Amino acid sequence: MNIALIAHDQKKSELVQFVQAYQFIFAKHTLFATGTTGLRIQEATGLHVTRYQSGPFGGDQEIGAMIAKNQMDVIFFFRDPLTAQPHEPDVSALIRLCDVYSVPLATNMGTAEMLIRGLEEGLLDWRNIVREKDTDNNGK
């Protein structure tokens, strides 16, 4: 599955620790991330991560485009709800796209724990069917 990893500055360390803890699961999937977050995850885990721009420079929108094309299956976006973000409209748009396209989204550690366990148990395999159906419909 294609997994996006995003974190606001105050949450980057927490996301890196989360990926380290579940590295054995993340290693089975294709990882994408915004700039600095992706670099920190690569350095801490050795996992390959396709990196986009930093969030404020369009990385959130690049991942949003993948969601809109049905090319993203799961999003781990550790948000900092206590700090104003200069790119808040992009953040809101990304969250809205997850809702529109039924892409599972974890914005905090509690939800991330449930989502990663579900991924491990195969509870998100329905995304493969959705993606295949979309590919079939666009190929006709």
pLDDT in tens, 68-108: 999 999 999 999 888 777 667 778 899 999 999 999 999 99
32: which strand partners?
4, 50
pLDDT tens for 30-71 read: 999 999 999 999 999 999 999 999 887 888 899 999 999 999
Backbone angles phi, psi at 126, to 5 degrees: -60, -25
Give the pLDDT of residue 90.
74
**End-to-end C-alpha distance for the chain, whole angstroms:** 24
46 and 54 Cβ atoms separated by less than 8 Å: no
- Confirm whether 60 is a catalytic residue: yes
CA distances from 107 to 52, 128, 129, 130, 133 (A): 19, 22, 24, 23, 27
Q: Which of 60, 80, 90, 125 is catalytic?
A: 60
pTM summary value: 0.90
Judge whether residue 139 has pLDDT over 70. Answer: no
51 and 39 Cβ atoms separated by less than 8 Å: yes
